[in-house]
Amino acid sequence: MLAIESSCDETAVAILSTDGQIIAEHVLSQFADHAPFGGVVPEIAARAHLSHLPALVKHALAEAGLTVGDLAAVAATTGPGLIGGLLVGAGFGKGLALAAGKPFIAVNHLEGHALTARLPGLVQDGLAFPYLLLLLSGGHCQCVAVEGVGRYRRLGGTIDDAVGEAFDKVAKLLGLPLPGGPGIERLAAHGDAKAFAFPRPLSGRAGCDFSFSGLKTAVAQAVGALPPGAIDQKTAADIAASFQAAVVDVLMDRASQALKALPEATALVVAGGVAANQAIRTGLQSLAARRDIPLVAPPLRYCGDNAVMIGWAALERLHAGLAEDGLDQRPQPRWPLTALALPVPENVSAAE
């Protein structure tokens, strides 16, 4: 399985065996291209994908010792994401599949994150359904009941900013480069998490929805109240630590509510770029332990956008009998997980 990911600002290619073993993988970050603009520029991202993707595919095939004719299928992210990048990746994948006479599988980027926890070797004897997914990234923040391949039930989501977006905005307030998550985490390690009493939006309320706009505004007000000029390192570290602690508390509270809605969950899974944050992992680990279930988090290199998760999601759908010919699937900038459900064949159980 050759897989392509190009939904945002990483150009990624991976080759997986049919049982999910990783044969080759490459991720090319476009961070330097977008840094001067303070965020991802869609047109620049699309042109970078177009420039780098052919060479990355060629490199991956050479590393694996394979030709296109050796592939069983080609998969590519077809949504959600930036439409320009999706058009490049999906178009390249479709062309490759057509030229080689191979099936093309259109993959939902969110499903890639949702199923990463089931990668071979990550959980002893594999991760069984159903489990609770906490999907955390710059564009998404939601609680999802993962009941089977292609079977997703949204329990709650953000009503304003995604958690990764909040990290980026706070980082900008503190003069840190983007993406903001790593910088906030490094700075917070030297700060006092109790120095600033930032709010915990929606904590203690019923339901599983999130809100981070008020927390971001509280940080902006704290920064605005400081003396004019550059923020001293100690104060910046205290703000970062206090903000991060508030985020952890909110995520634990919302995940706790979601687990009440899914008492049969076999695990608490955290995925997406923000899942790389160690303070968040530690907080969720303590919550999972109290519920006597494991916390499952992908290796750090699979928290961000990558093609391994796209190839694995395609394989999962193939093995479950849910993979359709994706040549007619148009790239979609918006494509919720709940829109993926397909009828489960009678001879295939949801747990398989």
- Residues whose CB falls within 8 Å of the CB of residue 57, separated by 6 or more in sequence, listed in order: 2, 4, 13, 92, 96
- Does 346 count as an annotated binding residue? no
SS3 79: strand
- Does 113 count as an annotated binding residue? yes
Positive or negative torsion for Cα 58, 60, 65, 66: negative
**Order of strands, sheet of 74-79, starting from the edge strand that comes earlier in the sequence:** 22-29, 10-16, 2-5, 74-79, 104-108
Exposed / middle / buried, residue 194 (Cβ in 10 Å: 0-12, 13-18, 19+): exposed
- Does 277 count as an annotated binding residue? yes
Helices H / strands E in the chain, number of each: 10, 10
- Does 305 count as an annotated binding residue? yes
- Does 34 count as an annotated binding residue? no
- Does 136 count as an annotated binding residue? yes
- Does 135 count as an annotated binding residue? yes
Cα separation of 281 and 299, whole Å?
12
Evaluate whether 132 touches 259 at the Cβ level (below 8 Å): yes
**DSSP annotation of 338:** G
- Does 328 count as an annotated binding residue? no
What residues are designated binding site for substrate? 135-139, 168, 181, 185, 277
What residues are designated binding site? 109, 113, 135-139, 168, 181, 185, 277, 305
What residues are designated binding site for Fe cation? 109, 113, 305
